[in-house]
Amino acid sequence: MEIEFCERCDASIPRSDVERGVARRIEGVLLCAPCRARDTRRRRAVLFVGPLAVLAAAALGAAVAVLLLGPRLVAIDGRVRGVAADAAAGRREVGSLREVMADLRRSDEDLAKGLTAVAERAGRSTGEVAVAIARIEERLGMLEREVLALKEHLREASVGPPAEPVEAPAIAPAPAVDPEPWLDLLADPDPGVRLSALVALAPVEDPRVATEAIRLLADSDAVVRGEAAKLVGDRREAAGIPGLLLLLSDGSARVRARAHRALEAISGRDLAGYDPVAPEAEREAAAAALRAALGG
């Protein structure tokens, strides 16, 4: 199953949200329900703030109600429509949850194959490969818990007996990772191998990991660049600021969003003036202002 991501906040978007229209592509940009609600709030502010200001003296209470409750009512309306669609689907939706969970497992199949290739090339022990597999299983566990929450939501919204509960798998603590073989694989010609090595090295406390992640901000593969930007931001590596500032003009919206969040994490500032999915001219003007402000 192809996983969709919001091109503004990088949140994952369930397929059901796209099919119901709760998540929608607006002017070529795919937005999740919360981001759509925020856009609606901005549009309503432009349309109503001026006229309501003139009438505020006579109808202050009504104006405040429209301004404060309007965006929330839009978001609630989207959720209500989603629940209504799920309830209409009834048992079919509940019965298909296992298939959804299977699709979620298949979504990480490429990453699992990449880890297998890494193990064959490096000749590491089964225990070392299990470290990376445990991280993938942890991610799958999180996805399964989200599906369990969705299943409970559908059970409450639909008629009929409750669905059989599904227990989330227990996650065993991962053993320590030896960074040496993984560091070598960060220079592998296969971008899937480089990505797998970055994922495996994420929990390793070794200064070489941050140095390599900063180097990979200029990688030829967009997925690798995005993962490197996330790692640099998670570690608050100030040395990565110049490379992250360059990624604000990256051709991938997801890479731009990750670079923006990493810069906020490192600088400790709210850099809300930059929107990774804004029109190019507006986006580049904001990026230039950030480069001047952060010394890039």
The per-residue DSSP string of the chain comes to -PPEE-TTT--EE-HHHHHHTSSEEETTEEE-HHHHHHHHHHHHHHHHHHHHHHHHHHHHHHHHHHHHHHHHHHHHHHHHHHHHHHHHHTHHHHHTHHHHHHHHHHHTHHHHHHHHHHHHHHT--HHHHHHHHHHHHHHHHHHHHHHHHHHHHHHHHS-SSPPPP-PPPP-PPPPPP-HHHHHHHTT-S-HHHHHHHHHHHTT---HHHHHHHHHGGG-SSHHHHHHHHHHHHHTT-GGGHHHHHHHTT-S-HHHHHHHHHHHHHHHTS--TT--TTS-HHHHHHHHHHHHHHHT-
**Low-confidence winner among 85-99, 164-178, 213-227 (lowest mean pLDDT):** 85-99
Listed residue (84, 11, 9, 76) closest to 40, CA to CA: 76
**Cβ distance 35 to 8 under 8 Å?**
yes
Domain boundary assignment for the chain: 4-89, 91-178, 205-296
Tokens of 87: 């309830």
Multiple choice CATH, 205-296, 1.10.10.10, 1.25.10.10, 1.10.3720.10, 3.40.50.1820: 1.25.10.10
pLDDT for position 97: 55
Whether 23 shows a pLDDT value over 70: the answer reads yes
The residue ranking higher by pLDDT, 261 or 9, is 261
pTM: 0.47
Whether 63 shows a pLDDT value over 60: the answer reads no
**Low-confidence winner among 92-106, 134-148, 251-265 (lowest mean pLDDT):** 92-106
Q: What is the mean pLDDT of residues 201-226?
A: 94
**Low-confidence winner among 128-142, 171-185, 200-214 (lowest mean pLDDT):** 128-142
pLDDT for position 107: 54
pLDDT for position 20: 81
Q: What is the mean pLDDT of residues 4-8?
A: 80
Tokens of 201: 């090295």
- Please give the C-alpha separations between residue 265 and each of 8, 9, 107, 216, in angstroms, as whole numbers: 17, 15, 28, 19
pLDDT for position 62: 46
How many CA atoms, within 13 angstroms, populate the side-chain half-sphere of residue 207? 2
pLDDT for position 167: 62
The residue ranking higher by pLDDT, 240 or 178, is 240
What's the chain's length in residues? 296
**Cβ distance 3 to 100 under 8 Å?**
no
**Cβ distance 260 to 252 under 8 Å?**
no
Q: What is the mean pLDDT of residues 42-54?
A: 54
Whether 55 shows a pLDDT value over 50: the answer reads no
Whether 155 shows a pLDDT value over 90: the answer reads no
Q: What is the pLDDT of the chain when averaged over all its residues?
A: 75
Confidence bin at 90 (pLDDT 50/70/90): low
Confidence bin at 33 (pLDDT 50/70/90): confident
Confidence bin at 64 (pLDDT 50/70/90): very low
Whether 178 shows a pLDDT value over 70: the answer reads yes
